Amino acid sequence: MSEQTSDESPIPGASESGDAADGAESSSQVGMRVLTGCLVVALTVLTVQWWQLTTDRPERLPWEHDESFDTLFRVDVNNGTWVEWMQLEGIGETMAHRIVADRDANGPFKSIDDLQRVDGIGPATLDRIRSSLTISHEPIERREFESTGTGISE
């Protein structure tokens, strides 16, 4: 007597066509599972990399200004870039961007005291940076070259 395994069908010929259909279905299912697994792994890796790029910022370079910097460096409130604003004590990148954005949205500052309209700049901050500020009422692009008597002509 021969023993039947669980894979063998008691009806001759039935196992060939039935197993082929089952095999094709399970290959398709296995393929979908592999594809789904690969997509999940890829999305996980991309999410981790995106998270690292958005949260890891380089450390600021240690930088100290000498005494001449404080007496010579000035930021024009109506023309200073955010990079120039960041050079001032207590003004970081976010505040510098906020100042420039306010100036672009609401027009030029009429006086140095108008800086207080920017969220985050109060009297204490303004007093701390006031000696480093200047004001012009024309954007740099519109100002005409003025001869300083140094022999430079237009």
Domain boundaries, the chain: 17-54, 67-137
Residue 120 makes CB contacts below 8 A (sequence gap 6+) with 95, 98
DSSP E strand stretches across the chain = 75-76, 133-134
Which range among 25-29, 105-109, 121-125 shows the weakest confidence by mean pLDDT?
25-29
Alpha carbon of 4 to those of 10, 12, 95: distances in Å? Answer: 8, 12, 81
pTM: predicted TM-score of the whole model, two decimal places: 0.49
Q: Model confidence at 154, in pLDDT bands (50, 70, 90)?
A: very low
What CATH number does the domain located at 67-137 have? 1.10.150.320
Q: Report pLDDT digits (tens) over 34-87.
A: 999 999 999 999 999 988 888 876 676 666 666 666 667 889 999 999 999 988
Q: Report pLDDT digits (tens) over 103-120.
A: 999 999 999 999 999 999
Alpha carbon of 48 to those of 36, 44, 45, 57, 141: distances in Å? Answer: 18, 6, 5, 15, 44
The phi and psi torsions of 70 (rounded to 5 degrees) equal -65, -30
